[in-house]
Amino acid sequence: MGYAMDDIAQVLLPKFKKEALKEGFRVFVLGPSCRSDEDVPQPKNVINTDGDIVPHAKYLRARIKRELEHRGFTVDFGETYGILEAWRTAHEGGNLASFEMDHAEDHCRAIVIIPASVGSICELALFAPERHLSEKTVAIIHKKYENDKSFFVDGIVKLLDDEKGKVRFVDYGEHDKCVEAALKFVNSEWESFYRRFREYLRAKQWEQNNAKIIEAGQPEVGTI
State the CATH number of the domain containing residue 9. 3.40.50
- Asked whether residue 206 is assigned to any structural domain, the reply reads no
- Asked whether residue 158 is assigned to any structural domain, the reply reads yes
- Asked whether residue 52 is assigned to any structural domain, the reply reads yes
- Asked whether residue 204 is assigned to any structural domain, the reply reads no
- Asked whether residue 213 is assigned to any structural domain, the reply reads no
Question: Quick one: which of 123, 97, 99 has its CA closest to 111?
Answer: 123
How far apart CA 17 and CA 22 sit, in angstroms, is 9
What's the pTM? 0.81
- Of 28-32, 93-97, 212-216, least confident by mean pLDDT is 212-216
- Asked whether residue 216 is assigned to any structural domain, the reply reads no
CA distances from 194 to 20, 57, 184 (A): 12, 30, 15
How far apart CA 68 and CA 142 sit, in angstroms, is 21
Which residues span the domain enclosing 130?
Answer: 5-199
Domain count, the chain: 1
Q: What are phi and psi of 7, to 5 degrees?
A: -65, -45
- Asked whether residue 182 is assigned to any structural domain, the reply reads yes
Radius of gyration for the chain, computed over Cα atoms and rounded to the nearest angstrom:
21
Tens-place pLDDT, residues 16-43: 567 778 888 999 999 999 988 899 999 9
- Asked whether residue 207 is assigned to any structural domain, the reply reads no
